[in-house]
Structures are given as C-alpha cells and as structure tokens.
Structure 1
Amino acid sequence: MATLLANSPKDLFDFVGHQLGPTESIIVDQTRIDQFANATGDHQWIHVDPLKAAEGPFGTTIAHGYLTLSLANLFLPELIRTENFSMGVNYGADNIRFPATVPVDSKVFASGEVLSVDEAKGGVRMIVRVSVFVEGSERPACVVDTISLMYP
C-alpha cells in the first residue's frame, strides 16, 4: 500500500475507508525506552532494568505502552502526507488498546485506515486508526483512533 498524498484538507474526504501503509520499520532499543522513562518519570523495572526484566514475565525489557502509543504520531505522516496545509493539530485519541508488548530491540511499523473525515472548526477533522506492529507478530502492539484537525 502506498502513502496517500493530500494537497488540501478537502482531499481527505476521498480517503475514507482507505487502508494505509505499512510504514518503514524503526527499532525500539533500550536507549529509546530509557529516554522515554526519563521524559515521563516511569522507571518501572520491566522497562529499564534489563537484569531484573530477564527474570520477569517477558524475559526482557519492554517498551512502555505510552511509548508505543506515541509512535503513532511518528508514523502518521508516513501513512498520509499533506501538502499546502497551514497546519495540522493532534486533537485527541479514542479506543486506545495495547494487545501485545514491544520487547526491547524490536522492529516496529504501522498500518492504518481512514475511519472518517468531516468539517470541523474551520478545517477538517480526520480520524485514522493506526495499528503499531512488532515485525513477525500478527497481533498489534497498539491500536489507536487518532483524531486530527487539518487546516487549509
């Protein structure tokens, strides 16, 4: 599947129902996990203590669920490229789920689907379901319905 290109917010109306992606993969390494722990103050051992985590339920450290969620924002521009917009705003998210873990050093990528587009607040509101996957896993690590406001 190719990345969709929107030249204006009005183009987004044509994308409803389109499947998006997959994106390029990135590696979620321990450095990224530690940086997220430092940024959020969440230093739970399953994320930041490789020795203790090796003896834990996952056999290794795992990415924070909210780190995995934040990757939706990284991947979204790879799923839908926008040009000739004055700005896009993250308005919110619905239906956030974490069906699987992201073990350290996993390669993750995303796919998506445009669920809806409607006019809102002088622009266009778009809801895109983004699913973040660990390469080799059939279950997504995170599924989120992202809500964006896009302005001409």
Structure 2
Amino acid sequence: MSALIIGSFEDFEKHNGQPLGTSEYFQITQDQINLFADATHDHQWIHTDPEKAKSQGAFGNTIAHGYLTLSIVPHLWSQIVDVRNLKMMINYGIESLRFATPVVVGSEVRLVAKLKNVANLRGTVKAEVEVKLEIKDQKKPAFTGVLVFLYHFNSL
C-alpha cells in the first residue's frame, strides 16, 4: 500500500470531494490501553481491569479509551496521505465526532478518509477530512467525524 503524495494546495485540490484511501489494520493491545490510562490518568476499570471487565462489563473484555482510538489517527493518516514540501501542519479541529462502537482489546482498526473540502486561506491550506475508524469484522465504526488540518507548505 502506498500513500497518496501531496505537496501543495493544487495536489489537495485534485482530490476535493474524493476518497483518499484506507490505512492498514492496527491492533489495539492491553499494553497500549494501560499506557494511555497512565498518560491521561483515566484508569476506569472498563479499560484497565481485564478480569472485572470480563465478569462485570458489557463488552466481555476491556475496551480502548475513545480518545486512545482518536490518538492513533496521525499514525494511520500517514499511511493514507504523505504530505511533502511541508513547513508546518496544525491539527485545527474536529467536527461532529461520534464514538459509535467500543473497541474491545485485541481488535484491529483502520482509518478510512475522504477529502470533504479544501481551501486556500491566503497561503494556508485548510483540509477538512471525513474519517471513519473501522473495526475489523464489525458493521459499525469505532468513530466518525471530520478532522480539520491546516497545512503550511514551503514555497516552490
């Protein structure tokens, strides 16, 4: 799988309104969940206590934090789009984010992206990307939303 190469506003503009691609699957492990819990101080048992989650939880095992699934987007995004000639990129916002299905430990997820809109704002490229985090063998995605990135390209 090769990422789509983008090096300018014009490159983005060619894909306006179009699917950009799909990442490879990425497995969510208990170690990742525990490290995320430590980093965010969110040690709720549904994430960090496998025995309790199996006996008392609604999902049969621990589940990833919703924000953990969101935090892997940069890794998965880089498999879809390789932005070059870049001075700086800013995560500008997230619109209409919805967590639809919990991600049970051991699940594999992948990112599907479509360029909803791109605009040139006086030299800064604003890209609005519709994303869906699919869970392997599940009908509903983990989440859907629109990510907004600001790209500052080097001059050519």
Length-normalised TM-score, structure 2: 0.91
Q: 2: distance between equivalents of 1:129 and 1:44?
A: 30
Deviations, residues 14-63 of structure 1 (Å, cap 9, x unaligned):
11111132211111000000011011011100000001000211110000
Report the RMSD for the aligned CA atoms in angstroms. Answer: 1.5
Residue equivalent to 1:51 = 51
Q: Is the 8 A contact 1:37 1:48 kept in 2?
A: yes
Structure 1 residue 33 corresponds to structure 2 residue 47:
no
Q: Is the 8 A contact 2:2 2:79 kept in 1?
A: no
How far did 1:10 drift? 2.9
Residue equivalent to 1:127 = 128
Q: Is the 8 A contact 1:76 1:130 kept in 2?
A: no
- How many pairs does the alignment contain? 152
Q: Could you tell me which amino acid in structure 1 is paired with residue 54 of structure 2?
A: A
The percentage of aligned residue pairs carrying the same residue is: 37
Unaligned runs of at least 5 residues, structure 1: none
Residue equivalent to 1:14 = 14
1:104 aligned counterpart, secondary structure: coil
1:10 aligned counterpart, secondary structure: helix
How far did 1:2 drift? 6.1
1:147 aligned counterpart, secondary structure: strand
Q: 2: distance between equivalents of 1:18 and 1:92?
A: 20
Length-normalised TM-score, structure 1: 0.93
Q: 1: distance between equivalents of 2:26 and 2:80?
A: 15
Q: Could you tell me which amino acid in structure 1 is paired with residue 36 of structure 2?
A: F
Q: Could you tell me which amino acid in structure 2 is paired with residue 117 of structure 1?
A: V
Q: Is the 8 A contact 2:108 2:135 kept in 1?
A: yes
Residue equivalent to 1:136 = 137
Unaligned runs of at least 5 residues, structure 2: none
Q: Could you tell me which amino acid in structure 2 is paired with residue 59 of structure 1?
A: G
Q: 2: distance between equivalents of 1:121 and 1:43?
A: 44
Q: 2: distance between equivalents of 1:96 and 1:129?
A: 10
Q: Is the 8 A contact 2:9 2:120 kept in 1?
A: no
Q: Is the 8 A contact 2:111 2:133 kept in 1?
A: yes
Q: Could you tell me which amino acid in structure 2 is paired with residue 50 of structure 1?
A: P
